[in-house]
Structures are given as structure tokens and as C-alpha cells.
């Protein structure tokens, strides 16, 4: 959220700079089982974002001090590749990637049936190959698919999606320019079957009415993304049926 008031993000006909309507999501594709070495994997492209997720486990958690006697821990590592943005990213963990890893882990732990695997660890690696705003959402969608591909029991998947505000208008799924120069961003992790929210972050300010519109758009998009996720799983496991 740069919040520069002088950057115009809507065309005179009310469309966005990339031609989308205000409640239109960027195109999203998903494929599972792309990494032979992982127990489960997925690739999600969301607009120009490319996110890969790999899942390993459940295995006995090491060192033992991280074990939980009554459940598994879900360990998430979100990383942006150095070549994922126009300014090369310094390799390794930073504050932002730690924060995204933590909120993603908490969201995934709320859907994985962790109590079935006491003292175990399920590792989720999220690698962002191309970043154009919304990578935490693409990452969580990819991670959910990779967990499903690994056969990890879950009560639902988590769909990552964001809405926000540009030029005083609420819009679905901010792209890079909208994220940089817009006024607010509201990424959420939605459980599409139950309608629960597994994570929610807000950058910038929204009125209660704007917040409600953002959530309406987010739920609409989550439904669309969920269908693409189901189709990706069916393509591998039901031969596309």
C-alpha cells in the first residue's frame, strides 16, 4: 500500500488498468503432483504470480522439543525466489517471509486433522517463482492442494484470495500496481465448504461497508478458485472425470 493519491488506477469507463472489471479475478490455474520427490505438490498461477508448494510427511518431529504430544505440527516455509521480482530478492528468511510462513501455518493447522498424528511434523515448502502481488494467497492455495495431493486428511481446503480499495473503489484481487499504489488490501484464507475464515490480514483502512464488499468479493472468488482446485485434483486422481 503505497497510498500515493495521485496515481490513477481506474480508467474513465470504470475498468481497471489491465482491463478487468472491479469484481473480476485474475486468471488462476492449478496442477497437482508436479514434483516427484515430494509426498504432495502443486503449482498455482494467479495472474502473473507463480507459486509452487511441496509437502513432506507426516514424519516424527525432530528435534523432540518441537513435538506436540497430542497432535502434529505443520511447519511452513514461504520463500520468494531471488528472480521472482524486478528487484532481485536477497536469498533467505526475512521478517516478511517469517510472518507469511507463520500465518500460513496457523491457517493450515486449522484444517489439517492434526490430532491424528501425535508427535509428527508435516512440512510445507512454498516457493514463489514469480511475484506480482497476492503471493501469500497463491501460496496458501498451492499449499492446500499439495496437502491434499499428499493424502493428508483435512476437513476443508484453505483458499487464498484478496480484495482491496483503489481510487476509493473496492476491487477484487489487486495486481502489482494496485497493491503498490492502492489504499487498502484485505487478504483472507477461506474454507470454501464451511465459509470459515482461517486467516485475515488488513493493510490500509476500510469502512465497515467497504470491508463487507471486500468480503463479498472474496467469498465469490473463493468459490471459483475452489472449483479450479477440485478440477486439478480430479485431473490427477479421477483421470479428469
Q: Say how many CA atoms lie within 13 Å of 117 toward its Cβ.
A: 19
Is it true that the peptide bond before 19 is cis, omega within 30 degrees of 0? no
Q: Does 175 bind ligand CDP (CB under 6 A)?
A: no
Cell numbers given for 141? 492455495
Q: Does 172 bind ligand CDP (CB under 6 A)?
A: no
Q: Does 183 bind ligand CDP (CB under 6 A)?
A: no
Length in residues, the chain: 241
Q: Does 171 bind ligand CDP (CB under 6 A)?
A: no
Nearest distance, CB of residue 140 and ligand CDP, angstroms = 9
Binding mask 37-76 for ligand CDP (x = CB under 6 A): ----------------------------------------
Q: Does 114 bind ligand CDP (CB under 6 A)?
A: no
- Between the alpha carbon of residue 65 and those of residues 10, 56, 68, 73, 240, the distances in Å are 52, 19, 8, 12, 43
Q: Does 89 bind ligand CDP (CB under 6 A)?
A: yes
User: Is the Cβ of residue 69 or residue 86 nearer to ligand CDP in the bound state?
Assistant: 86
Of 39, 125, 179, 210, the residue at the interface with ligand CDP (CB under 6 A) is: 179
Beta strand pairing status for 73-80 and 120-130? parallel
Cell numbers given for 198? 482461517
Nearest to 97 by CA among 112, 117, 77: 77
Q: Which stretch binds ligand CDP (CB under 6 A): 20-28, 127-135, 164-172, 192-200?
A: 127-135
User: Is the Cβ of residue 89 or residue 129 nearer to ligand CDP in the bound state?
Assistant: 89
Amino acid at each position: 500500500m503505497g497510498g500515493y493519491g495521485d496515481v490513477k488506477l481506474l480508467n474513465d469507463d470504470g475498468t481497471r488498468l489491465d482491463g478487468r472489471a472491479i469484481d473480476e479475478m485474475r486468471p488462476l490455474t492449478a496442477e497437482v503432483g508436479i514434483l516427484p520427490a515430494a509426498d504432495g505438490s502443486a503449482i498455482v498461477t494467479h495472474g502473473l504470480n507463480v507459486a509452487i508448494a511441496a509437502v513432506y510427511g507426516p514424519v516424527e518431529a525432530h528435534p523432540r522439543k518441537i513435538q506436540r504430544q497430542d497432535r502434529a505440527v505443520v511447519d511452513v516455509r514461504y520463500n520468494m525466489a531471488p528472480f521472482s521480482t524486478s528487484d532481485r530478492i536477497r536469498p533467505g528468511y526475512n521478517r516478511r517471509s517469517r510472518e507469511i510462513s507463520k500465518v500460513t501455518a496457523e491457517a493450515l493447522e486449522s484444517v489439517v486433522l492434526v490430532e491424528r498424528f501425535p508427535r509428527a511434523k508435516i512440512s510445507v515448502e512454498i516457493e514463489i517463482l514469480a511475484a506480482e502481488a497476492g503471493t501469500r494467497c497463491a501460496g496458501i492455495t498451492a499449499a492446500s492442494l499439495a496437502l491434499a495431493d499428499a493424502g493428508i486428511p483435512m476437513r476443508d481446503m484453505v483458499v487464498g484470495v484478496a480484495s482491496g480499495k483503489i481510487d476509493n473503489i473496492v476491487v477484487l484481487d489487486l495486481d502489482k500496481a494496485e497493491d503498490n499504489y492502492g489504499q487498502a488490501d484485505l487478504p483472507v484464507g477461506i474454507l470454501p465448504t464451511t465459509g470459515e475464515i482461517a486467516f485475515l490480514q488488513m493493510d490500509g483502512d476500510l469502512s465497515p461497508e467497504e470491508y463487507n464488499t471486500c468480503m463479498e468479493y472474496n467469498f465469490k472468488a473463493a468459490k471459483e478458485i475452489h472449483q479450479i482446485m477440485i478440477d486439478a485434483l480430479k485431473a490427477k486422481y479421477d483421470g479428469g472425470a
